[in-house]
Structure 1
Amino acid sequence: MRYYYPDYFKDFVCIGGKACSDSCCHIWQITVDKKTLRKYKHVTGELGKRMAEKIDQKTGDICPHGEENRCEFLNEDNLCDIVAKLGEDYLCETCYTHPRHEEVYPDVRERSLAITCPIACRQLLERKKPVRIIYEDTDEPGDKDKKFDYELFDVLLKTRDNLLKLQQDRELTISQRMALSLGISHDIERRIRAKSLRNKNTGFLDKLFAKKNSFTDEELGDIEKILKYYKKSDAFEKMCKNIEKSEESDWFMLDDEEDKKKILSDMIFTLCTMEALKPTWIPYLQSVLNIRQQMDNKEYLESYKEFEAVTDDIEIEQLLFYFTYVYCCQSAYDGALLAKIKMAVVNTLIIKELWFMCWLENDKTLTMEDKVEYAHWFVREVENSDENMEQWDSLMQRNPRFSLDNIFKLL
């Protein structure tokens, strides 16, 4: 078994209590795993009675309460009664590990620190040196899954490695790094889709026995060439020239009908159509949209230019790197690599836009506390809901608001 994780993963320590600006023990549904649920059945006294009443004994769901959907066992000091009375060994798997997240593949485990946690978010944003992804091999046997496309997964791992190195190339502007990341993903997904189309035409017996077509030698050769091409120092200039020669010659060009303010407002508006975990989320987004609506394009662009001059690109880099690391290999299940990298770029751009709006509202000042608040809030609203993540991914694949055309015009 191989384990991947960022180099700061093992340094995380939960501070808990009121020292934490936003407890992870509210807003989202907490489900107790079966092993811990059996353990809870042996707890006696008042706490045991509360566990029996407030935890669904079939599903393991803890019944939340109050406007913020607080966990039943989160006390007034924002500390866990289970830990206080029984110790950390009695925490369910989710509570024990969060914000440590593990994405499970047949013979690979990818670990990350979810920036839905404000402490993990601050830790990432305050970091100035590039993040390294570390891997460790263990003697644990991997799982066997006949339906899993191991060849595609190997291509995705190689692609992600190149994407992450590109995104940390500080000789390039952050916009150039985003554009090149989208370019790599677009070009490689074309080869993935060609392979996928052949699989759709596979015969009945081959499908029955989960037999998959492989990449052709030509496709694998193309993938190697693409990765090599985007490593060149003039890759961005060449990509722009190729776009100019193509039917997409208006990419990177803003006009009155599709300006930066409108494109981003449309993207933010889609968040209002999704499930809100915190009751103040949609009203907040609506207030942002109202403020944007009242600004004319010239005022907006001039203010944004001033904001960019005081923005630390390293913070933007860390966000882009984080989302790419977490999302990229998930396309092993649907082949939608470009959608995953779109999501990484769009997430980063929206967080930056929320920072910009906060900067405007606060007389052109923005603290680290502000950055952490809006970054972790946005990610929590999107990532802590399976429904939202599915919808967000689908929007990247199909909705014209998130077209490459629109995204490139923001860069």
Structure 2
Amino acid sequence: MEKPAEQKKGMAIAMKYYYPDYFDDFECVPGHECPDSCCIRWQIVVDPDTLKKYRHVQGPLGKRMAEKIDFSTGRICPHGEDNRCEFLNEDNLCDIVLELGENALCETCHTHPRHEEVYPNVRERSLAMTCPIACKQLLERKEPVNIDCYEVHARKEWDPFFDHKLFAELVPTRDTLLSIAQNRKFSMNQRMVMILGMAHDVESRIHHRAERKHTSFPLKNLPIFPNFTDREKHQLRKIRKAYCEDTAYEKIEKRLDEIIYDEKYFRQENEEPVSTIMTDMLFALSTMEALNPEWPPLLQSILNIREEMSREESRGRMAEYTEQEDEIELEQMLVYFLYVYCCTSAYDEQLLAKCKMAVVNVLIIRELWFMRWMENDELLTIDDKAELAHWYVREIENSDENMEQWDSLMQRSPRFAIKKILKVLRRGDILKQTH
């Protein structure tokens, strides 16, 4: 990985760069070799520095740039039924690269699917699963993913609106969540139960501290983020330690049915089956913006199949599917989602929602794979898995509107209540144990 140049130490502190250990292994494939070009169905915004360069491009390409790029906003609006980038030619190659070279690309196009989340004095890099090649490489990996870190000296970055104290607790919390996600002593369903349990416990301590938050005087709009008390820090360390113990799931399991079947929630005359919970989750997806016109028909076909299947048939077929399931593939996706999402809760204190989003993403991708497996007479290739997984993630992550709505649903919608997600995981684990 190319490291930024170090600055003079006198004015510097450590800038930390986090990245998964496979980050440098990615290689893009050109043109029609790519199964789903990132230059299609994605509205690109050109960065200001590149816009300045594009203003001086001459000839036919310069004229096209003047016509097709909104230089006030940097937007390149996709065109046609396929929503292709204006500079993507019939061979699925970029005319800008062909004429000016790869260095002429804007920052987004040059780095994708490499993504960098920016926090004060911290940069977190990832390879987006929205890319089919990056997604397939991740699914094919069998070893646990390591999150590496290096430091360089840089100027101190301070944002008065950023909760630096919360972020400092979220990083070790995420490390523990990733460790749980990769603990192969437990089934994937058990690991996801523990992740939700820990996120719930940590968030309750975060919200307890938040009650002491106030704004500064006379700058009423400037938040004052209180310190975590020694007691709260001790509680957070205790939670992280407890969920790393080999007996962690055993302790949770004793209370799991009590939590799931709370009288106010589930002890009704007609108890809600797991299949209905999954159908509701899929239906929520159908209410969101569709980037690919083929996405809504796919969701509708899955909903139709679910409606036609009886409760017993759905349970039986899923049990057959899980017998041949490779849990390592689910683990790699869960690690990706946790790594990318967890620390963003520094902005809204909603760690549980971020972890629910990670778990639900895995459950829905598993559902997409299950349906393709049934459709293909119990055959499911790695290409099928990469196609469906990257497609789903692209529909969510390539739309700011969808990401915001998905996060909001995790926080507020009864469809994604933690008890419902736990019920899906609990039933899945029982099915796995009995077959």
TM-score normalised by length of structure 1: 0.96
CA distance 1:253–1:223, shift in 2 (3 Å) = farther
Residue in structure 1 matching 2:289, options 265, 275, 296: 275
Equivalent position SS for 1:410: helix
Aligned to 1:156: 170
User: Do the aligned residues in 2 keep the contact of 1:243 with 1:249 (CA within 8 Å)?
Assistant: no
Residue 16 of structure 1: CA displacement? 2.1
Residue 261 of structure 1: CA displacement? 1.1
Residue in structure 2 matching 1:46, options 20, 41, 60: 60
Aligned to 2:360: 346
Partner Cα distance (2:221, 2:173) in 1: 30
Residue in structure 2 matching 1:218, options 228, 231, 234: 231
Letter in 2 for 1:377: W
CA distance 1:248–1:158, shift in 2 (3 Å) = farther
Equivalent position SS for 2:86: coil
Letter in 1 for 2:390: H
141-150 or 110-119, larger mean C-alpha shift: 141-150
Residue in structure 1 matching 2:398, options 380, 384, 389: 384
Aligned to 1:374: 388
Letter in 2 for 1:160: R
- State the aligned residue count: 410
Partner Cα distance (2:55, 2:217) in 1: 48
Aligned to 1:230: 243
Partner Cα distance (1:123, 1:322) in 2: 12
CA distance 1:188–1:107, shift in 2 (3 Å) = same
Equivalent position SS for 1:139: strand
Residue in structure 1 matching 2:333, options 319, 335, 339: 319
Please give the residue correspondences for 1:4-403 in structure 2 after superposition, counting only pairs within 5 Å: 4-200=18-214, 204-205=217-218, 210-244=223-257, 249=262, 257-403=271-417
Residue 141 of structure 1: CA displacement? 2.0
Partner Cα distance (2:308, 2:257) in 1: 34
Residue 49 of structure 1: CA displacement? 0.5
Partner Cα distance (1:48, 1:41) in 2: 8
User: Do the aligned residues in 1 keep the contact of 2:174 with 2:343 (CA within 8 Å)?
Assistant: yes
Letter in 1 for 2:384: D
Partner Cα distance (1:128, 1:247) in 2: 33
Letter in 1 for 2:253: C
User: Do the aligned residues in 2 keep the contact of 1:130 with 1:168 (CA within 8 Å)?
Assistant: yes
User: Do the aligned residues in 2 keep the contact of 1:206 with 1:212 (CA within 8 Å)?
Assistant: no
Equivalent position SS for 1:58: coil
CA distance 1:106–1:257, shift in 2 (3 Å) = same
Letter in 1 for 2:212: R
Residue 255 of structure 1: CA displacement? 9.5
User: Do the aligned residues in 2 keep the contact of 1:252 with 1:410 (CA within 8 Å)?
Assistant: no
Task: Output one character per residue of 1:266-311: Cα deviation in whole Å (capped at 9) or x when no partner.
Answer: 0000111111101111111011100111000111110000000011
Please give the residue correspondences for 1:399-410 in structure 2 after superposition, counting only pairs within 5 Å: 399-410=413-424
Unaligned ranges ≥5, structure 1? none
CA distance 1:78–1:291, shift in 2 (3 Å) = same
Residue 8 of structure 1: CA displacement? 0.3
Residue 126 of structure 1: CA displacement? 0.2
Task: Output one character per residue of 1:305-357: Cα deviation in whole Å (capped at 9) or x when no partner.
Answer: 00000110000000101000000000000000000000000000000000000
User: Do the aligned residues in 2 keep the contact of 1:191 with 1:223 (CA within 8 Å)?
Assistant: yes
What is the Cα-based RMSD across aligned positions, in Å?
1.8
CA distance 1:405–1:86, shift in 2 (3 Å) = same
User: Do the aligned residues in 1 keep the contact of 2:216 with 2:224 (CA within 8 Å)?
Assistant: no
Residue 240 of structure 1: CA displacement? 2.1
Aligned-pair identity (%): 58
